[in-house]
Amino acid sequence: MKLIKTLLLGAVAACALATTPSYAQQFIPILSYRIGPYAAGGSGYFGGAIDYFNLVNSQGGINGVKLVWEECETEYNAARGVECYERLKTRNGGASTVDPLSTGIAYGLIDRVAQDKIPMTTFGYGLGASADGNVFRWVFPLGTTYWDQVAAMVAYLEQKEGGAGKLKGKKIAYMYHDSAYGKEPIGTLDALAAKNGFEVIKIPITPPGTTQESQWLQVRQQKPDYVILWGFGVMNPVALKTAAKTGFPREKIVGVWWAGSEEDVIPAGTAAKGYVSAAFSAPGTSFPVMQDIKTKLYANGKGNLEDPARIGSIYHTRGVVYGILITEAIRKAQDKFGKGKVMTPEQVRWGLEHIDLTDARIKELGAAGMFPPVKTSCSDHEGSGMVKFQVWDGNAFKPVTGFMAGDRALVRKLVEESAAKYAADKKITPVDCSKEN
pLDDT of residue 434: 86
pLDDT of residue 2: 38
pLDDT of residue 437: 67
Say which DSSP state 397 is in.
E
The answer to whether residue 73 sits within a structural domain is yes
> Are 79 and 99 contained in the same domain?
yes
Structural domain boundaries enclosing 30? 3-144+283-375
> Are 312 and 207 contained in the same domain?
no
What CATH number is attached to the domain comprising 254? 3.40.50.2300
Q: Are 30 and 71 in contact (CB under 8 A)?
A: yes
The answer to whether residue 222 sits within a structural domain is yes
pTM: 0.94
> Are 114 and 48 contained in the same domain?
yes
The answer to whether residue 382 sits within a structural domain is no
pLDDT of residue 435: 84
The answer to whether residue 123 sits within a structural domain is yes
- What gap in Å lies between CA 152 and CA 205, rounded to an integer? 23
Omega cis (within 30) before 208: yes
- End-to-end Cα separation, the chain, in angstroms: 42
The answer to whether residue 342 sits within a structural domain is yes
* Widest pairwise Cα distance in the chain: 66
Per-residue pLDDT of the chain (437 residues; tens, 9 = 90+): 433 333 333 333 333 343 345 578 999 999 999 999 999 999 999 999 999 999 999 999 999 999 999 999 999 999 999 999 999 999 999 999 999 999 999 999 999 999 999 999 999 999 999 999 999 999 999 999 999 999 999 999 999 999 999 999 999 999 999 999 999 999 999 999 999 999 999 999 999 999 999 999 999 999 999 999 999 999 999 999 999 999 999 999 999 999 999 999 999 999 999 999 999 999 999 999 999 999 999 999 999 999 999 999 999 999 999 999 999 999 999 999 999 999 999 999 999 999 999 999 999 999 999 999 999 999 999 999 999 999 999 999 999 999 999 999 999 999 999 999 999 999 999 999 988 76
The answer to whether residue 414 sits within a structural domain is no
The answer to whether residue 415 sits within a structural domain is no
Count the domains in the chain: 2
CB contact set of 210 (below 8 Å; sequence gap of 6+): 234, 235, 238
pLDDT of residue 15: 32
Count how many Cα atoms sit within 13 Å of the Cα of residue 115 in the half-sphere of its side chain.
Answer: 8
